């Protein structure tokens, strides 16, 4: 059960609802939103009578929620969410395409990517300035210098910048440069970080953890939403399985299930989803065909020289080809790109 308060509800009214919940032997979870407060009820085994609360002053409605994720559930909000990222949308009729290098490496590299992305029809520039790397000895990104280069590329091309934030302490820094904050797969259950981006009002791209279930992904989105940031885009990027020939196993079935269970937009990352350059375009086509709201793809002017993820990066010419092919699929489905 979720008790949604009126925007104008007073602190006392919120308190009264919480007190009532405790009186019934349950636990209230006050979820302060940007606009209005919601109060989750847990500890209840069976259903909680809604009318007990709906008659209380300050209460907008009492929503029974069968899923453990509530704010992001399609039970709570059946119509699909469209996330607006400084003018570019994700989740509507038009597919969102994000392209760029794994890591920002230099001004020349990021500008070449941004121009190619722009020209082929992408609206977003991706690129890592802070890079989570398995080894402490690998290239860790250009950090703030990388953020500045992303901002420079935005200035020239008008693309929106999406880039990863790795720790609560750098959320403010990254949010200063980025249009959209990315939570990487390894941080999907870094709850302190989720709460930190939930406190901002920057849209968030939340990547599925490499062995996260669909439910856990939605629970992580719920963390962000529970702090009042509802502008969340989910990303299927492949899960870890026993198969050694591909880097990950892209779970396109999850896209379908996510769109059934939640109102949030879902995009697909075919690059990490297979980890092999020759497989990226086919999986991009499949991602659009399954009904995703967009794609995020790694491109590089010279993949063989990339400091990270070279083997899965498309050349700029291949990206152009990819866009041609996915446009045909989008047309067939009545979506724009």
The H or E element containing residue 104 is none
Rule CB under 8 A: say whether 45 interacts with a copy of itself: no
Question: In terms of Cα–Cα distance, which of 205, 257, 240 is closest to 74?
Answer: 257
Q: Which of 40, 91, 101, 146 binds a copy of itself (CB under 8 A)?
A: 40
Instruction: Pick between residue 153 and residue 174 the one whose CB is nearest to a copy of itself.
Output: 174
Determine how β-strand 232-236 pairs with β-strand 59-63.
Answer: unpaired
Rounded to the nearest whole angstrom, what is the least distance from the CB of residue 211 to a copy of itself in the complex?
3
Q: By CB under 8 A, which span of 7-15, 50-58, 161-169, 311-319 interacts with a copy of itself?
A: 161-169
CB 266 within 8 A of CB 237: no
**CA gap 72, 233 in Å, rounded:** 11
Q: Which of 112, 181, 234, 283 binds a copy of itself (CB under 8 A)?
A: 283
Distances (CA, A) of 129 to 27, 163, 247, 279: 41, 7, 22, 26
Rounded to the nearest whole angstrom, what is the least distance from the CB of residue 159 to a copy of itself in the complex?
26
Q: Which of 83, 178, 288, 299 binds a copy of itself (CB under 8 A)?
A: 288
Instruction: Pick between residue 11 and residue 135 the one whose CB is nearest to a copy of itself.
Output: 135
**Would you give the binding string for a copy of itself spanning residues 83-112, x where CB under 8 A is met?**
------------------------------
* Buried residues in 5-40 as b, exposed as e (16+ CB within 10 A): beeebeeebbebbbebbeeeebebebbebeebbbbb
The H or E element containing residue 119 is helix 107-120
Q: Looking only at residues 227 through 266 of this chain, which bind a copy of itself when binding is defined by CB under 8 A?
A: 238-246, 249-257, 260
Q: Which of 117, 219, 264, 337 binds a copy of itself (CB under 8 A)?
A: 219
DSSP codes joined into one string, 146-205: HHHHHHHHHHHH-PEEEEE--SGGGHHHHHHH-SEEEEPGGGTT-HHHHHHHHHS-S-EE
Q: By CB under 8 A, which span of 49-57, 91-99, 286-294, 315-323 interacts with a copy of itself?
A: 286-294
Q: Looking only at residues 9 through 28 of this chain, which bind a copy of itself when binding is defined by CB under 8 A?
A: 27
Look up residue 321 and give its two tokens: 């080809």
Residue whose tokens read 């930190």: 196
Rule CB under 8 A: say whether 286 interacts with a copy of itself: yes
Rule CB under 8 A: say whether 68 interacts with a copy of itself: yes
Rounded to the nearest whole angstrom, what is the least distance from the CB of residue 153 to a copy of itself in the complex?
25
Rule CB under 8 A: say whether 64 interacts with a copy of itself: no
Look up residue 184 and give its two tokens: 């990487």
Q: Looking only at residues 171 through 200 of this chain, which bind a copy of itself when binding is defined by CB under 8 A?
A: 186-187, 189-193
Rounded to the nearest whole angstrom, what is the least distance from the CB of residue 27 to a copy of itself in the complex?
8
CB 322 within 8 A of CB 290: no
Rounded to the nearest whole angstrom, what is the least distance from the CB of residue 147 to a copy of itself in the complex?
16
Q: What is the DSSP letter of 95?
A: P
**CA gap 44, 292 in Å, rounded:** 35
Rule CB under 8 A: say whether 309 interacts with a copy of itself: no
Instruction: Pick between residue 92 and residue 279 the one whose CB is nearest to a copy of itself.
Output: 279
* Buried residues in 237-260 as b, exposed as e (16+ CB within 10 A): bbbeeeeeeebbebbbebbeebbe
Instruction: Pick between residue 23 and residue 137 the one whose CB is nearest to a copy of itself.
Output: 137
Rule CB under 8 A: say whether 211 interacts with a copy of itself: yes
Rounded to the nearest whole angstrom, what is the least distance from the CB of residue 186 to a copy of itself in the complex?
4
Instruction: Pick between residue 15 and residue 27 the one whose CB is nearest to a copy of itself.
Output: 27
Q: Which of 7, 22, 201, 215 binds a copy of itself (CB under 8 A)?
A: 215
């Amino acid at each position: 059960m979720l008790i949604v308060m009126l925007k104008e509800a007073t602190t006392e009214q919120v308190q009264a609802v919480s007190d009532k919940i405790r009186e019934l032997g349950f636990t209230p979870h006050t979820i302060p939103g940007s606009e209005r407060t919601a109060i989750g009820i847990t500890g209840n085994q069976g259903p909680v009578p809604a009318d007990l609360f709906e008659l209380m002053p300050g209460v907008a409605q009492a929503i029974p929620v069968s899923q453990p994720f509530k704010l992001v559930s399609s039970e709570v909000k059946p119509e699909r969410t469209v996330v607006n990222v400084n003018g570019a949308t994700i989740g509507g009729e038009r597919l969102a395409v994000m392209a760029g290098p794994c890591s920002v490496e230099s001004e020349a590299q990021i500008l070449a990517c941004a121009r190619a992305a722009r020209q082929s029809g992408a609206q977003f520039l991706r690129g890592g300035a802070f890079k989570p790397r398995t080894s402490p000895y690998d290239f860790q990104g250009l950090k703030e210098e990388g953020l500045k280069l992303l901002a420079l590329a935005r200035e020239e091309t008008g693309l929106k910048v999406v880039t990863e934030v790795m720790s609560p302490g750098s959320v403010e820094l990254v949010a200063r440069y980025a249009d959209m904050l990315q939570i990487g797969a390894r941080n999907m259950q870094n709850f302190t970080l989720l709460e930190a981006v939930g406190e901002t009002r920057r849209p968030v791209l939340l990547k599925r953890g490499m062995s996260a279930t669909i439910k856990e992904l939605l629970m992580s989105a719920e963390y962000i939403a529970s702090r009042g940031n509802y502008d969340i885009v989910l990303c299927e990027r492949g899960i870890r399985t026993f198969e050694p020939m591909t880097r990950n196993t892209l779970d396109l079935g999850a896209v379908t299930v996510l769109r059934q269970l939640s109102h949030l937009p879902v995009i697909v990352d075919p690059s990490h989803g297979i980890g092999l350059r020759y497989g990226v375009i086919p999986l991009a086509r499949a991602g659009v065909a399954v009904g995703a709201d967009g794609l995020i793809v790694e491109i590089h002017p010279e993949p063989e020289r990339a400091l990270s993820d070279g083997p899965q990066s498309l050349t700029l010419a291949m990206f152009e080809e990819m866009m041609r092919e996915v446009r045909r699929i989008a047309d067939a489905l009545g979506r724009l790109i």
